Structure formats: structure tokens, C-alpha cells
Amino acid sequence: MTPINTQNSHPLAGRTMTGAEMIVQILADEGVDVMFGYSGGAILPTYDAVFVHNSDSSRRPMPLIVPANEQGAGFMAAGYARATGRVGVCVVTSGPGATNTITPVRDSMADSVPMIVICGQVPTGAIGSDAFQEAPVANLMGSVAKHVFLITDPTRLEETVRTAFEIARTGRPGPVVIDVPKDVQNWSGTFKGEGILPLPGYRSRLAQVESRRLESAACEEFFSMLAGSSRPMLYVGGGVIAGEASAALREFSETFGIPVVTTLMGIGAVDTTNKYAMSMLGMHGAAFANYAVDDCDFLIAVGARFDDRVAGDPKRFAKNARHIAHLDIDFSEINKVKRVSWSHVGLLPQALSALIAHGRSTGFSRDWSDWHNHCAELRRVHAMNYDRSSELIQPYYIIEEINRITKGEAIISTGVGQHQMWAAQYFDFCSPRLWLTSGSMGTMGFGLPAAIGAQFAHPERLVIDIDGDASVRMNLGELETVTTYNLPVKVVVLNNFGDGMVRQWQKLFFKGRMSASDKSLHKKDFIKAAQADGYEWAKRLDVKADVPAVIEEFIAFPGPAFLEVIIDPDAGVYPMVGPGQPYESMITGDHIASRSPGEAPPPPGASEMF
């Protein structure tokens, strides 16, 4: 190698490196401490460079974790990113390796998760020739990723990889895909150790958003609406967590005494045990949360987007709110679904801090004790509940028992389905980034690999995957990843022998016609499967009286543990707001008090979403 250029700030500047070595060096420069991926011919040069890097004792290692398939790798990288706020990294081969990551990429885009996917590609000269394991990655990923780079000029490799990290983590975070032909990986050139691509449009828009500050006049207008309010409510979404604004949001709520409801993605933005926390709102939100939103007269949306799971009927959402304020980082979200009275686009921590400072400097104070008492009464009368006397094991009971032990401090990952909603409803979360779930995409199979990524991010923390029998099947091969790396991930499978959420919809909206919802897949012995993959602790729980003791043992086990729970197959997710329906039409089930006459919702129209 050529001598190091000591005049450059990077200690390796001036050295001759292959493209693969440059990629790995930039990953190290970006602070990557673990990556996830599956090998293959078109990515072998980069995998070899990773091996060489990790063999050098003078360098900080970057372990490369091998999953059962590339979708698992993508969700592991996403789980890492969701649990830390840092960029997750996935490295896969061309063709099917790349296409297997499309779902994690779209999932991360939908939930604003920063991730880098590095794909191998056939040599530059073979692109477009239907070469072995070739796929048009740029075309496929372009519609689902925040950005895609196809590197055909190796001299731009360094700048491209650095820029990809910049795009992934700035503004509204998201996944960036780098498609690297094999010849670019094998190319040799001089490592500059610096440089980014010119993105004047993107950086200008980003600078415009980041420089926006709440002026005194805007603050005065906001507090004028707040002063005229008797029942203010904070409606908080995942943007608060993605924007690292949880601390400012909590301070804002506490300073002015404003209750908080969160979306599915906003769970953990406020401590769920806090006196102002009013739980999750929306389609499967707590009845008291939804009623409180109906009753509020000033709704303050922060990092939320009024999506269909929350505002099923936008015109009747927050129907008594005389004013709605909206703070977000994305201009496109303002007035997209619901017209608002006041808005601010900018960095959320700064905006909330500005409002706090203005309120304090003007001595703003309001007595909202009547509203607080009203919210407390809603919590009491319409509390979450279920059939506690049933002889069958109720899934809510399982989650309550785990929550009793973890006390809101565990990282909880989920698949998608009924178990996901039960976990959202019955777990406590004291901090942000403890709740990992596929929100907008609703991707079954997310839970287990995401838990693995989170465990690598936080090896000292308790990580639990709450899954369903149908959802966990989607990436069941990752059980072996857990034991291969001896991760203390705890996996709970709430088994109701079928697609419980689909069955619930079929009961409510399709006259009980269970078309394909049991899949007739009842032969799986999950315990034997877990044992075959190396689990020393793998048990089935099917007796209600055994629940407390078995869960204590399960959580206390020091290594990987797998618990299958045979739950009541008819257990439902309630409350439920039918698609396109207002909160006043909420179905609360048999065990949660409703303040509306219980009527079956009308069947969804042909265009209604699931």
C-alpha cells in the first residue's frame, strides 16, 4: 500500500484500497458496531474486506451477523435502528439477496427508520443482460426507499457511501439502498478519507427545515388558543421518538399539565405510568383515550400524521376540538388529512423548547383540574379489561404478568396481529425506543428478527419478542440465529391456532366466514422446533394456574428462552373502531364499558382498508 498522507485529516487518506475496503472503512468511520447480512457471489469482495477488518486487532470490530435469510437481516438492522436511533446496516448479495430485503426497506420507509442496505450487483458491463442473480435493484427499490444509489463510477464510491448515511439519518429518517457492482468492489484506487456528493436541493430543504424557529408571534398565537381551551390534549406520534423529542415533549406536558395520547408508533414517548399519560388512541386504542380525544377542545398533534388507523373518519376525528395545532418535520403532513388552525414545520425538540420558554416567560398558567378529573374518570370507567374468570388462558393475562416483572423497562418487540395490539394495550414503557413494532406496513414476521437486532444494540437489556403463531412462522428460521449467537432473547408465542386478527374481522364484517384464516396449519410443534434450534429452555403453557410461576422462570432464565402459550382462540382485540368509523361507534366488547349503545358496525366498503 502507498504511504499514508499525513496532511489529510483521515489517518488512512492516500492509501490504495479496493472499493470493498473503502466501503468497510467508511462503515467504521460512521460508527457502525454491528451489521447484518447473508453472503453470495456478488457481495463476496465486501464480505472478505469485513473479515480482514475484523481480523486486525488494532481496529474496532464490526461483527457481521448471519441470519436465516435476507429479510431477517433487514429486520435485524431495523430493530437495531429502532432501539438506538442510529443507522442500522444490512449487507446482502445481488438478485434474490437484494429482493428479499424489499419488505424491510418498505417497512422502514413507512415507519421513518434509518437504515443502509448495501447490495452486491453483477459487474457493471453485465447490468441489463439478465446475468446470473441480476435484479434491477434501483428500479425495484426506488419506489420504496428514501433513496437508491447504483454506483457505476468507482471514483464516486466514497462520497456515495458517506452521503447515503447522511440521507438515512437526516430530516425524516429512512432507508437508503446502495447497489454496488462486483467490479466496483474489486476496483483499486486512492482512499481520500473525505467527501460527500453534491445534493444542493436536499441539503437546502433540510437546512430550511432545521433553521426554522418558532417566532414570538407564533408562540403567542399558540398560547392564545391554549388559554382559550378548557380541555387540551397532546396527540403524539412516532415523529417524536424519531426526532429525539421525547424529553422535550414530556417537559411540555408536565409544565403545562396537558394529557397525552400516543399512536402505536408513539408509544414510549411519554412514560405510560405518568399521571398525564392517556394511553394509545385509534382503531385499537384504549376506550378512555379515544373518548378523551372526542372530548378535547384543543388537539395538539406532535410528530403524528392523522393516519387511517387513528383518524378513520377524518371529519369526525376530535369532533369537539375548536382548534388543532400540528408540529412536524415534514411539510407534506400539514393539512394532508385534517385541516389545522396552527402549524409549525421544524425540528421538534427546538419547537417544543421554544413553546416551553415562551410559556414560562409570560407566566402562562391554567387550572385544568376539571379536565384532569374528567380524564381520570374516563380511565376508571372505561378501563382496559377482559374475562378474568375464564378457565382458558387469556392473552391479556400473560402480558400483565410479564409487565408485572419487567415494570416498563424491557425492550418489547412484536410480530403483527392480535398479539401486537394486546402488547400495545397492556405493556408499560418508561422510555422511548423500548417498543419495536411494524406500524404502517404491518409486516408479519417482524418481531423475532427485530428483537435480535435490538439485543445486539443493547446486550445488557431484557429483550422480549411477543409473537403470534402465524406471524412467527414468517421468520421462524431466526430462532437458530438467536441460539447461534447465544442471545438471551425471550420469545413468547401466543398460539390461537390461526390468524386471529383476520378471524376477528371475518366474524365482525364477513358473517363468520373464516376463509383461509386458520390456514389449516395446525401441525407445527413449536417446542420441538425451538429445541431443534438449540433452545435449552422451551416450554408450552396451557394451564392457567401455572402462568405466574412459568413466566417467572421464563424471564429469569439467563439465556435464550422460548414460551408457547395456548390462549383462548376466541380472545379478541377490544376496543375496536371499524374502518372509516368515528370513535363514537367504537366496539368495546363485553368487558370494557361503552358510553354508546353497542351496535355491530356496518361492513366495510369495497375500498376500505383492512
- Residues serving a catalytic function are 70, 132-133, 182, 501
- Distance between CA atoms of residues 29 and 15, nearest Å: 15
Q: Would you state the cell numbers that stand for residue 228, as one nine-digit string? A: 382559550
Rounded Cα gap, residues 455 and 410, in angstroms: 11
β-pairing verdict for 188-190 and 16-18: antiparallel
Kind and range of the H or E element at 504?
helix 500-509
Distance CA 159, CA 194 (A): 7
Q: What is the CA radius of gyration of the chain?
A: 25
CA–CA gap between residue 86 and residue 25 (Å, rounded): 18
Tell me which residue of 112, 103, 116, 137 sits closest to 23, measured CA to CA: 116
Measure CA of the first residue to CA of the last residue in the chain; give whole Å: 58
All 3 cell numbers of residue 412?
A: 418489547
Q: Which of 344, 356, 367, 358 is nearest to 231 (CA)?
A: 367
Q: Partners of 180 in the beta sheet?
A: 120
In whole angstroms, what is the distance from residue 549 CA to residue 546 CA? Answer: 6
Distance CA 254, CA 352 (A): 12
Q: What is the DSSP letter of 604?
A: P
Amino acid sitting at position 220: E
- CA 75/CA 107 separation, integer angstroms: 9
Give me the residue label for grid cell 400540528: 326
Contact 437, 446 (CB under 8 A): yes
Q: Which helix (H) or strand (E) holds 565?
A: strand 561-566
Other C-beta atoms closer than 10 Å to the C-beta of 386 total 21
